[in-house]
């Protein structure tokens, strides 16, 4: 009786944490749904609400189980539905992480392989858990062999899921640093990778907590901590989505390193030392205004519309250069007629000459 009371107290504590994080998570999900231009056609929104629903179902079923509503012995339908909700909980979270990677990735073919490969690995783990967890937790168990195998496989499966989760987050950080920061010079995305690394540590610690709680004598109490762990993970994912939107909206802020007061229109600084393909000379009286626009865009239609699209190239830099030249004489106009503007690899000479092009 004392053990039952302790189990109920621990489960109530887990339920309290789940409700607290659940309120924050639902509120953030509502805000992102309202900010999405077309939420009914957004896979990201469906995955977020599906994750919330799966955690809510596990929370309710687990609490009713420990309260004795389903009887003193776990039945086959009870164990089946708990695992079914757990499958949706794991699969949806992994796909949300991959959806975040797709926003900043360039090779969408690679993203498809990542998406289906991760789903295949997690599905294999899910099937193995179904085949071992249910026979070992029936009362009486089907065989003591299942009980012995489950003792080690249960922890192993959680470790494998933790490794997949951490691997996807590391891939996201590496893509941000290599593609956006180093390749395209979008240095404003560097804090995004650092913030993701910190949140990845929190996510891994939540998995470690679950693995440690598996040592509790009552498996029902362990089930109650699943919603706590995965609501925290979902909150992390939605925070990352909001941060990506916030950084992307701040286009042009910190894109370039300090260049001595000049902002160059080139995306790749390493190409500036190459010789120019064409030399164009203007007289002192020429007016050559040049406008350069740096725009950083994401693979979504609105602030939180982070959906995987096959045609999208992820976040990238687009440089639009417009040059308008007005000559003072017909001869000069004739000389420039038919000449097409080519974006030169070296624009330093243009920006360093005061009075010639004006960079706006």
Which stretch of 201-205, 252-256, 267-271 has the lowest confidence by average pLDDT?
267-271
**How confident is residue 213, by pLDDT bands cut at 50, 70 and 90?**
confident
Q: Dihedral sign, CA of 229, 120, 158, 56?
A: positive
What is the DSSP-derived secondary structure letter of residue 269? G
**How confident is residue 238, by pLDDT bands cut at 50, 70 and 90?**
very high
pLDDT (0 to 100) of residue 325 = 52
Q: Which position has the token pair 């250069």?
A: 321
- Average pLDDT of span 282-308: 44
pLDDT (0 to 100) of residue 318 = 54
pLDDT greater than 60 at residue 312: no
CA atoms within a 13 Å half-sphere pointing along the CA-CB vector of 307 = 20
pLDDT (0 to 100) of residue 138 = 87
CA distance 171 to 150: 31
Q: Dihedral sign, CA of 99, 81, 8, 151?
A: negative
- Give the residue among 208, 231, 216, 205 at the shortest CA–CA distance from 11: 216
- Average pLDDT of span 104-119: 90
Question: Could you tell me where the DSSP H helices lie in the chain?
Answer: 2-35, 43-66, 76-104, 108-137, 144-175, 190-213, 219-249, 330-336, 348-352
**How confident is residue 314, by pLDDT bands cut at 50, 70 and 90?**
low
pLDDT greater than 80 at residue 15: yes
**Mean predicted lDDT score pLDDT of the chain:** 75
Whether 312 contacts 319, CB under 8 Å: no
pLDDT (0 to 100) of residue 303 = 45
- Average pLDDT of span 155-179: 92
């Amino acid at each position: 009786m004392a053990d039952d009371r302790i189990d109920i107290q621990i489960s109530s504590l887990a339920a309290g944490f789940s409700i607290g994080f659940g309120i924050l998570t639902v509120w953030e999900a509502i805000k992102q749904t309202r900010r999405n231009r077309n939420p009914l056609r957004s896979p990201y929104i469906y995955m977020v609400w599906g994750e919330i629903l799966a955690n809510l179902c596990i929370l309710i079923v687990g609490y009713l189980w420990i309260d004795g509503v389903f009887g003193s012995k776990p039945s086959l339908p009870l164990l089946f539905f708990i695992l079914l909700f757990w499958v949706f909980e794991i699969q949806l979270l992994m796909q949300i992480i991959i959806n975040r990677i797709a926003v900043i990735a360039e090779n969408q073919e690679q993203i498809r392989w990542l998406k289906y490969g991760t789903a295949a690995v997690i599905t294999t783990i899910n099937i193995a858990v179904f085949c071992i967890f249910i026979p070992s937790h029936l009362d009486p168990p089907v065989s003591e062999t299942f009980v012995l195998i489950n003792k080690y496989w249960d922890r192993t499966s959680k470790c494998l899921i933790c490794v997949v989760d951490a691997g996807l987050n590391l891939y996201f950080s590496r893509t941000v640093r290599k593609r956006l920061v180093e390749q395209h010079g979008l240095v404003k995305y560097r804090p995004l990778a650092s913030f993701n690394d910190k949140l990845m540590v929190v996510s891994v610690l939540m998995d470690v907590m679950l693995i440690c709680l598996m040592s509790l004598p009552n498996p029902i109490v362990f089930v109650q901590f699943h919603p706590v762990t995965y609501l925290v993970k979902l909150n992390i994912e939605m925070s990352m989505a909001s941060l990506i939107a916030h950084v992307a909206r701040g286009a042009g802020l910190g894109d370039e390193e300090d260049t001595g007061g000049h902002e160059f229109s080139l995306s790749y600084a390493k190409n500036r030392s190459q010789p120019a393909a064409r030399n164009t000379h203007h007289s002192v009286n020429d007016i050559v205004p040049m406008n350069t626009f740096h725009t950083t865009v994401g693979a979504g239609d609105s602030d939180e519309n982070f959906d995987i699209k096959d045609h999208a190239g992820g976040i990238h830099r687009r440089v639009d250069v417009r040059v308008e030249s007005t000559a003072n004489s017909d001869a000069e106009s004739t000389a420039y007629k038919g000449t097409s503007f080519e974006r030169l690899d070296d624009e330093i000479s243009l920006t360093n000459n005061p009075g010639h092009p004006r960079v706006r």
